[in-house]
């Protein structure tokens, strides 16, 4: 289960003091918590201006937060953040030390930004964010949308690549057997379509796809 994490916090270069955290699962379920005892005197003017207005003002005790998060996450979660380093440290500290994470939780967080870099994807190519930036819940919603967008795109690319590789391998095998007349002008589209209909009956998807490719190749470009 892919789960996005985003948090808001106060940091001074030495410590990270949590303000809020949100988790959004790939199935759309959401969990949002605000931390008790936030010391706003330690917050920068930027945090007060950009984060504090989005808060609901209802905090959750840490014991209850831990229990709700564990129930929400379930088994074998895959956590994602965006520039996730501080978010992940903050998340782990909800449970104490990193070794205190519940059983089944990974000891690392995947980073959407790193995935974007690996895929050479700019932010403007991802889904637009609804709601406000620096609102932990709105940010987490955007992260999961973007992760699913990129992972689905990758699955499609992988599937198409694997399928076309199988098509090519089958064509090469037939060519090695001396059956390489697929582009002969004597083999008319009508003949190809008849052969396609026959292969639809027998049900080999690679053969069917190759005959469709033959027909596509004969279309006017």
pLDDT digits (tens, 9 = 90+) for 198-212: 878 777 888 888 888
- Output b/e per residue, 2-27; b: 16+ Cβ within 10 A: bbbbbbbbbeeeeebebbbbbbbbbe
Is the pLDDT higher at 136 or at 181? 136
CA 96 to chain centre: 28
Cα–Cα nearest to 17, from 108, 94, 109: 94
Asked if residue 44 lies in contact with residue 21, where contact means CB atoms within 8 angstroms, the answer is no
Task: Report d(CA 181, CA 200) in Å as an integer.
Answer: 21
Asked if residue 14 lies in contact with residue 6, where contact means CB atoms within 8 angstroms, the answer is no
- Given pLDDT bands bounded at 50, 70 and 90, which one contains residue 177? confident
In total, the chain counts a number of residues equal to 221
β-partners of residue 20 are: 8, 34
Each residue's pLDDT tens digit, 24-68: 998 889 999 999 999 998 999 999 999 999 999 899 999 999 999
Cα dihedral 123, 149, 22, 64 in deg (nearest 10): -160
Helix (H, G, I), strand (E, B) or coil at 61: coil
Domain 2-150, CATH? 3.30.420.10
pTM for this prediction: 0.69
Mean of pLDDT values over 79-83: 95
Please count the CA atoms within 13 angstroms of the CA of 77 that sit on its side-chain side.
Answer: 28
Q: Is the pLDDT of residue 221 over 70?
A: no
Each residue's pLDDT tens digit, 87-143: 999 999 999 988 889 989 999 999 999 998 988 888 888 888 888 888 999 999 999
Predicted local confidence at residue 99, as pLDDT: 86
Q: Where are the chain's structural domains? A: 2-150, 157-218
- Bridge-based pairing state of the strands 16-25 and 30-34: antiparallel
Residue located via tokens 């002969």: 184
Contacts of 44 (CB under 8 A, 6+ apart): 10
Mean of all residue pLDDT scores within the chain: 87
């Amino acid at each position: 289960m892919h789960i996005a994490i985003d948090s808001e916090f106060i940091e001074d270069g030495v410590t990270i003091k949590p303000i809020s955290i949100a988790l959004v699962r790939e199935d759309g379920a959401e969990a949002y918590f605000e931390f008790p005892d936030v010391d706003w005197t330690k917050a920068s003017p930027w945090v007060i201006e950009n984060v504090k207005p989005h808060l609901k003002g209802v905090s959750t005790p840490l014991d209850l937060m831990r229990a709700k998060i564990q129930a929400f996450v379930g088994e074998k979660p895959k956590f994602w953040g965006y520039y996730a380093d501080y978010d992940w440290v903050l998340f782990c500290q909800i449970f104490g030390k990193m070794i205190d994470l519940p059983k089944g939780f990974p000891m690392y967080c995947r980073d959407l930004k790193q995935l974007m870099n690996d895929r050479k994807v700019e932010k403007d190519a991802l889904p637009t964010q609804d709601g406000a930036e620096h609102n932990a819940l709105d940010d987490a919603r955007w992260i999961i949308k973007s992760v699913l967008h990129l992972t689905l795109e990758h699955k499609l690319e992988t599937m198409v690549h694997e399928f076309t590789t199988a098509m090519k391998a089958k064509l090469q095998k037939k060519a090695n057997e001396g059956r390489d007349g697929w582009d002969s002008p004597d083999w008319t589209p009508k003949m190809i379509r008849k052969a396609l209909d026959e292969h639809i009956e027998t049900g080999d998807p690679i053969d069917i796809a190759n005959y469709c490719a033959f027909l596509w190749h004969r279309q006017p470009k």
